[in-house]
Amino acid sequence: MSMVTSRIVAMGGGGFDAGSVGPHMEDLILSLVPRERPRICFVPTASADDRAIVANFYDTFSLRAEATWLPLFERRHTDLRTLILDQDIVYVWGGNTANMLAIWRIHGLDVILREAWARGIVLAGMSAGAICWFEAGVTDSFGPGLTSFHEGLGLLPGSCCPHYDGEPLRRPTYRRLVGEGFPAGYAVDDAAALVFAGRDLEEVVATTPEARAYRLERGADGVVEVALPTRYLGA
């Protein structure tokens, strides 16, 4: 009996609507599924089901995959479990992390995504779509400033801070929080991603040569920040 490998791709930022990032990250995500045309479901809850972003998703994936999307603000699907478990990949967009998770929990999507992960369906996402898989994260969900967030799904241990190089307050805020006892975790630049197999970090990938991810922990002499080996996906 073969073991199921549960994979999560947590991206710091960018994505298919960011022209400077390129297609390499999406190529990587599709390559994790041994099927010529993977079934991929887009979940843009954090952006309030923004239709322009949905259109970008279809422009990016519809020629290479069986693409669909899950609206929750104007819900169309009665049986969310069947929809999600019929996918090879679930791709979660960015936006308001706290609102997204609250809506997921009201609709029972949080439980369904746990089952999807256990079954080996690839879970991917950027920004809010990266934070959500961890126990905790750094978010701007509650106003213009950054604050700690402890209500993630907890599929992955510890914390996550996206946009580490893209927003000037991300690094000092995350370092301060970890120094104050916030769960240790990972910081991810906008064009980088963490690839997990189960709960273990398999690799860090990036679509620009300079993008990185970092491991942050609280040490005896302060916060220890270590740059992680990164595989560049470009030419």
Instruction: Report, as residue numbers or ranges, the catalytic residues.
Output: 127, 163
Q: What angle do CA 150, 69, 49 make, to 5 degrees?
A: 60
Residue among 153, 174, 149, 150 at smallest CA distance from 163: 174
Helix boundaries (H) for the chain: 24-31, 51-61, 80-85, 97-107, 109-118, 128-131, 170-179
C-alpha 168/C-alpha 65 separation (Å) is 36
Based on the number of CB atoms within 10 Å of its own CB, is 204 exposed (0-12), middle (13-18) or buried (19 or more)? buried
Contact 196, 8 (CB under 8 A): yes
Contact 19, 225 (CB under 8 A): no
* In the block, residue with structure tokens 């298919």: 16
Sequence-distant (6+) residues with CB within 8 A of 228 are: 186, 201, 204, 212, 213, 214, 215
